[in-house]
């Protein structure tokens, strides 16, 4: 898509992604996905939203859902998401995604949803599935198609959902004519490289995360409990380890080499490295923590921005919705014929 920007004709892409309001954010979320998204806002047309409709498939507690949603919005804004540069909103503030989910449902074969690995995973964990969980991928397709998302940065676990979205868009366009843009996934590979404190991939479901915001004492404890081996203090230490990889997130190339040298040098104590890593983390996130506190105390500012974002997003959604209604013969009695 060619967008006329302030600087002239510039091939700006619409980058779009939804974020689950799933509670406490961790270091893996930040370095895996969030920092990347936030960078996009400078060179691209970023659309980013908190998927509270999707969260309904697993959270049925009103207060918890509300809190998680507002916290996710504040987290993103304190980490640098700028509502002036991007379009940032809460999914349920643009309810057209529900309308389009119904329209799209009619071009989806059940086989496609039956094959969804994330659905199958949840079943195998003993969850009693509801229709919402089953049609989760259709709602996600709506999220993407209704805003003309061209590039969708997601984790590896969402790859299949993107394939389902492409399939739905292609089928729809084949039946009704060119209405939707076929999105391209952008799968983040380095997320795999962010280990948790036990050395496995950092993930909420493994209980091995380091939270971004929270009590200093608790976070320090997490850093101090990063798993290490029992190599003799006089021997060189392995650098292909959780501690080294986690520290590397904060270092440039030469600092990383310096750290590797220290690992090679006899006498290095893991405890000292962990303390330094904590200090490094703590000062890196200092400005974000301050912003977080500011936003906590200025929730109106957050709500105002989300509202503005929803208004911007609604305009785009209505454009696609009208095209779809028209293509399907649903523009009956409306002014949009």
Min. distance of Cβ 263 from ligand TRP in angstroms?
A: 35
CB nearer to ligand TRP: give 91 or 241. Answer: 91
- Tokens for 96? 């057209």
- Tokens for 29? 């979320």
Residue in the structure block whose two tokens are 């003799």: 232
Backbone angles phi, psi at 151, to 5 degrees: -125, 130
Give SS3 for 228: coil
* Angle, alpha carbons 323-183-98 (nearest 5°): 50
Binders of ligand TRP in range 136-155 (CB under 6 A): 140, 143-144, 152, 154
Contact 98, 53 (CB under 8 A): yes
CB nearer to ligand TRP: give 201 or 289. Answer: 201
Q: How far apart are CA 135 and CA 316, in angstroms?
A: 23
Residue from 12, 13, 20, 245 binding ligand TRP (CB under 6 A) = 20
Is 204 marked active-site?
yes
- Tokens for 161? 């959902």
Q: Which helix (H) or strand (E) holds 317?
A: helix 299-328
Residue from 14, 15, 17, 107 binding ligand TRP (CB under 6 A) = 17
Query: Is 158 near ligand TRP (CB under 6 A)?
Result: yes
Min. distance of Cβ 27 from ligand TRP in angstroms?
A: 17
Torsion angle, alpha carbons of 280, 262, 36, 54, to 10? -80
CB nearer to ligand TRP: give 32 or 195. Answer: 32
Q: Using CB atoms, what's the residue nearest to ligand TRP?
A: 18
- Taking residues 54 to 93 in sequence order and writing x for each that binds ligand TRP by CB under 6 A, - otherwise, the string is x---------------------------------------
Taking Cα atoms as reference points, which of 330, 334, 312 lies closest to residue 100? 330
- Taking residues 33 to 52 in sequence order and writing x for each that binds ligand TRP by CB under 6 A, - otherwise, the string is ------------------x-
Q: How far apart are CA 300 and CA 296, in angstroms?
A: 9
CB nearer to ligand TRP: give 34 or 273. Answer: 34
Binders of ligand TRP in range 159-218 (CB under 6 A): 161
Name residues whose C-beta falls within 8 Å of residue 283's C-beta, 6 or more positions apart in sequence: none
Active-site hit among 85, 201, 291, 323: 201
Residues of this chain that bind ligand TRP (CB under 6 A): 16-18, 20, 51, 54, 140, 143-144, 152, 154, 158, 161
Q: Which residues are catalytic?
A: 122, 201, 204
């Amino acid at each position: 898509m060619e967008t006329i920007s302030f600087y002239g004709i510039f091939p700006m892409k619409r980058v779009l992604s939804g974020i689950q309001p799933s509670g406490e954010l961790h270091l893996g979320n930040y370095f895996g996905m969030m920092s990347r998204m936030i960078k996009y806002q400078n060179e691209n047309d970023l659309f980013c939203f908190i998927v509270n409709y999707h969260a309904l498939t697993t959270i049925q507690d009103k207060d918890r859902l509300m809190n998680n949603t507002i916290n996710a919005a504040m987290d993103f804004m304190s980490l640098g998401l700028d509502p002036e540069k991007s379009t940032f909103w809460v999914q349920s503030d643009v309810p057209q995604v529900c309308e389009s989910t119904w329209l799209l449902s009619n071009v989806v074969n059940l086989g496609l949803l039956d094959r969804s690995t994330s659905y199958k995973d949840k079943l195998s964990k003993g969850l009693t599935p509801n229709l919402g969980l089953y049609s989760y991928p259709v709602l996600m397709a709506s999220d993407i198609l209704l805003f003309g998302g061209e590039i969708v940065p997601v984790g590896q676990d969402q790859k299949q959902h993107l394939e389902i979205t492409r399939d739905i868009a292609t089928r729809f366009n084949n039946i009704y004519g060119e209405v939707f843009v076929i999105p391209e996934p952008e799968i983040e590979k380095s997320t795999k490289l962010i280990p948790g404190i036990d050395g496995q991939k950092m993930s909420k479901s493994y209980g091995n995360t380091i939270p971004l915001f929270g009590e200093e004492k608790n976070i320090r404890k997490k850093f101090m409990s990063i798993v290490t081996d029992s190599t003799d203090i006089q021997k060189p230490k392995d650098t292909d380890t959780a501690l080294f990889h986690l520290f590397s997130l904060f270092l440039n190339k030469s600092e990383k080499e310096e750290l590797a040298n220290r690992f090679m040098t006899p006498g290095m104590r893991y405890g000292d490295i962990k303390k330094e890593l904590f200090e490094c983390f703590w000062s890196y996130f200092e400005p974000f923590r301050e912003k977080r506190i500011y936003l906590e105390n200025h929730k109106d500012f957050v709500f105002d921005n989300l509202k503005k974002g929803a208004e911007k997003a609604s305009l785009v959604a209505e454009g696609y919705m009208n095209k779809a209604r028209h293509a399907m013969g649903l523009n009956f009695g409306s002014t949009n014929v």
